[in-house]
Amino acid sequence: MGQPWWQGAVGYEIYVRSFLDDDGDGLGDLAGVRAKLPYLADLGVDIVWLTPFYPSPQADHGYDVADYLDVDPRFGTLDVLLALTTEAHELGLRLVIDLVPNHTSDHHPWFVDSRASRDAEYRDFYVWRDPAPDGGPPNNWVSHFGGPAWTFDETTGQYYMHLFLPEQPDLNWAEPRVCAAFEDILDTWFSRGIDGVRIDVAHSLVEDPEFRDNPLLGEGIEQAEDDDPSPDPTTARLVFDRFVHVHDVDQPGVVDIYRDWNVVAAKHDALLLGEVYILDPIKLHRYVTDDALHAAFCFDTLKLAWDADEVRDTLRPYVEVSGDALAWPLSSHDDPHAATRFGGGARGARRALAYFTFLCGLPGAPFLYQGDELGLEDGHLETGVASDPIAVRNPGTIGRDAVRTPMPWEPGPGFGFTTGEPWLPFGSNRTDETTVAAQLGFPGSHLERTRELLATRRRLSALTNGSPTEWITDEGPVVVIERGEEVLVALHVGDGDGPAELVLPEGCRLAFATMAEVELIGDTLYLPEDSAAIIELEPTEDGEEPMLDAEERALMDRAAADQDLARMSGDDTGIGNDGAGGANG
């Protein structure tokens, strides 16, 4: 049996609202996505993930779904989506759509019916509870976006639960008809040719059956809400973060749902990729084992500071526990672009590319967010723009708007994104130089280096075939991993440490470097700060994979392994490290 099609794939997240506007209404659409499929295929990604395009009042920009099986006319039609899917396949791309099973829109017909009366047909599709004895919410749970997780409904005299906006009522996954409905939804999309789903807040869905209060981390919640006038964009989440979420997320039972979905997906060879926001390798692993999800995002990649120990200590346990069942986002529509997170400017972009090169060296699937291939920073927006519900609910903050500003394709007033008025400003830091047109075809540009990186990754099968990962350095500013004794990836995470020199085994070849200043002279790799390199340890003559039959390849692999073993054994690994921290075996 061959490996699953998603093993070793590279993903690309499209925030549909901001990718490309084909009809000039200022909002990105599916026709825009369709037009850029050749761009994505040329870039060298394998999986294209589309954020929600479903009919929706857009209270949370589409993560409030009113119909799971259709397309909002603002984004196009089902026919356009299906044509786009066929064209993606013709270009060798796989299409993954966003599925939002934790909650619906309050405009979804299920909820409209559910709130009509206590004995409505769909009443139990949602989480309804009586008020507490004092008339307040049934427990102390709060919404991710701030405020209580409960809204009182006058008509039926009960509260409904929402871990996000009141316009996003939570579905009741204890109700078997909800489970059945979603298995049908999955089956329908996969039958339509969609290759997989990215599952929104996949760790939620199930709640404590007794609806017990969550313990507080610190002082009272009122204090956090009332006394904190901070304009920090994460203020709303601070309230959420004041609690230990032992009863509202990551409950026993949620993984069982994915075991049932796995059966549906298997019929279609489709991918289940979870947004499992759990920053713990062991807990996360439960979602990707025993025939549950095929893969889950590791969100710690979005948290790491530019610090070699942090990179090693944080990512290594994930790799050791879940290996290639993980997806590694560089940025996302919920988090800052990597170039911004790493300090912005030329240095931020350099670091973002180097870090992505490292993610490309890990087993599993690295994911770019649109614009990452340009080294794009978040848009600089005036406060007061407020489109994201986090920003709307927390006046004076920007929330996630800055990471969602439209994609700059080419110089000009609408940056090639729209001929109309963009739904969100581009940001005052967008210039002609930040566009795709300014980088496409220019060797050394962020875009061209990203394309070269992805081509290199594709060529070096040890990076994509699940080969084991060995962590070569356990201290010093250079993080080095080796895959299957064939490929080595080195990332210089220094900050004032100066360039590093690494002595490598004889006969290596520099397959990819993020900067022209990276050099392999003889057996010594010169790695400036904020750079990364991919090294072939056993390069073939022309840099291509030799065409061998299976038996020849097995013999050669065995001989190479023996040689490697001989070379690597003894008093060092063959990898010296001068000025870049120690090497371990």
Picking from 40, 13, 15, the residue whose alpha carbon sits closest to that of residue 27 is 15
- CA dihedral for 456, 349, 299, 173, sign (positive or negative): negative
Residue whose Cβ sits closest to ligand GLC: 63
Picking from 226, 216, 218, 514, the residue whose alpha carbon sits closest to that of residue 351 is 514
Cβ closest to ligand GLC, residue 171 vs residue 493: 171
Instruction: State the first-to-last Cα distance of the chain, in angstroms, to the nearest integer.
Output: 33
Kindly state the smallest distance separating residue 516's Cβ from ligand GLC, in Å.
Answer: 37
User: Is residue 63 involved in binding ligand GLC (CB under 6 A)?
Assistant: yes
Kindly state the smallest distance separating residue 105's Cβ from ligand GLC, in Å.
Answer: 10
Cβ closest to ligand GLC, residue 34 vs residue 162: 162
Interface with ligand GLC in residues 358-387 (CB under 6 A): none
Kindly state the smallest distance separating residue 60's Cβ from ligand GLC, in Å.
Answer: 5
Interface with ligand GLC in residues 238-277 (CB under 6 A): 275
Binders of ligand GLC: how many residues, by CB under 6 A? 9
User: Is residue 299 involved in binding ligand GLC (CB under 6 A)?
Assistant: no
Under a CB-based contact definition with an 8 Å cutoff, are residues 476 and 582 in contact?
A: yes
Cβ closest to ligand GLC, residue 275 vs residue 378: 275
User: Is residue 201 involved in binding ligand GLC (CB under 6 A)?
Assistant: yes
Binding mask 504-523 for ligand GLC (x = CB under 6 A): --------------------
Catalytic residue, candidates 195, 200, 324, 486: 200
Token reading at 79: 């026919």
- The CA-based dihedral angle spanning residues 522, 526, 531, 534, taken in that order and rounded to the nearest 10 degrees: 20
User: Is residue 53 involved in binding ligand GLC (CB under 6 A)?
Assistant: no
CA–CA distance from 55 to each of 113, 406, 511 (Å)?
Answer: 18, 21, 46
Interface with ligand GLC in residues 152-181 (CB under 6 A): 164
User: Is residue 200 involved in binding ligand GLC (CB under 6 A)?
Assistant: yes
Kindly state the smallest distance separating residue 51's Cβ from ligand GLC, in Å.
Answer: 8
Cβ closest to ligand GLC, residue 275 vs residue 529: 275
Q: Among all chains, which residue has been given the structure tokens 């709640």?
A: 207
Kindly state the smallest distance separating residue 225's Cβ from ligand GLC, in Å.
Answer: 20
CA–CA distance from 523 to each of 88, 203, 481, 564 (Å)?
Answer: 42, 47, 17, 16
Strands (E), 275-372: 295-297, 326-329, 365-369
Cβ closest to ligand GLC, residue 54 vs residue 512: 54
Kindly state the smallest distance separating residue 39's Cβ from ligand GLC, in Å.
Answer: 24
Kindly state the smallest distance separating residue 44's Cβ from ligand GLC, in Å.
Answer: 25
Angle between helices 345-361 and 446-459 (to 10 degrees): 10
Rg, C-alpha atoms of the chain: 25
Catalytic residue, candidates 13, 106, 275, 373: 275
Cβ closest to ligand GLC, residue 402 vs residue 502: 402
Single out the residue of 60, 248, 250, 482 in contact with ligand GLC (rule: CB under 6 A): 60
Q: Specify whether 523 is catalytic.
A: no
Kindly state the smallest distance separating residue 447's Cβ from ligand GLC, in Å.
Answer: 25
3-class secondary-structure state, position 354: helix
Residue 274 sits at the vertex; the CA angle it makes with 217 and 336, to the nearest 5 degrees, is: 65
CA–CA distance from 218 to each of 223, 225, 235, 241, 242 (Å)?
Answer: 10, 13, 15, 10, 6
Kindly state the smallest distance separating residue 275's Cβ from ligand GLC, in Å.
Answer: 6
Cβ closest to ligand GLC, residue 170 vs residue 486: 170
Cβ closest to ligand GLC, residue 333 vs residue 350: 333
> Which residues pair with residue 152 across a beta bridge?
159
Under a CB-based contact definition with an 8 Å cutoff, are residues 407 and 19 in contact?
A: yes
Kindly state the smallest distance separating residue 62's Cβ from ligand GLC, in Å.
Answer: 9
Single out the residue of 334, 335, 378, 529 in contact with ligand GLC (rule: CB under 6 A): 334
3-class secondary-structure state, position 356: helix
Is the backbone of residue 187 left (phi > 0), alpha (psi -120 to 50) or beta?
A: alpha
Q: How far apart are CA 357 and CA 324, in angstroms?
A: 16
Is the backbone of residue 415 left (phi > 0), alpha (psi -120 to 50) or beta?
A: left
User: Is residue 13 involved in binding ligand GLC (CB under 6 A)?
Assistant: no
Q: How far apart are CA 489 and CA 504, in angstroms?
A: 12
Q: How far apart are CA 166 and CA 158, in angstroms?
A: 14
Distance of CA 527 to the CA centre of its chain: 28
Picking from 1, 2, 3, 98, the residue whose alpha carbon sits closest to that of residue 323 is 3
Cβ closest to ligand GLC, residue 271 vs residue 436: 271
Interface with ligand GLC in residues 98-117 (CB under 6 A): 100
- CA dihedral for 28, 33, 38, 43, sign (positive or negative): positive
Cβ closest to ligand GLC, residue 405 vs residue 456: 405
Q: How many CA atoms lie within 13 A of 307 on its CB side?
A: 7
Q: Specify whether 200 is catalytic.
A: yes
Q: Active-site positions?
A: 200, 275
Give contact residues for ligand GLC (rule: CB under 6 A): 60, 63, 100, 164, 200-201, 275, 333-334
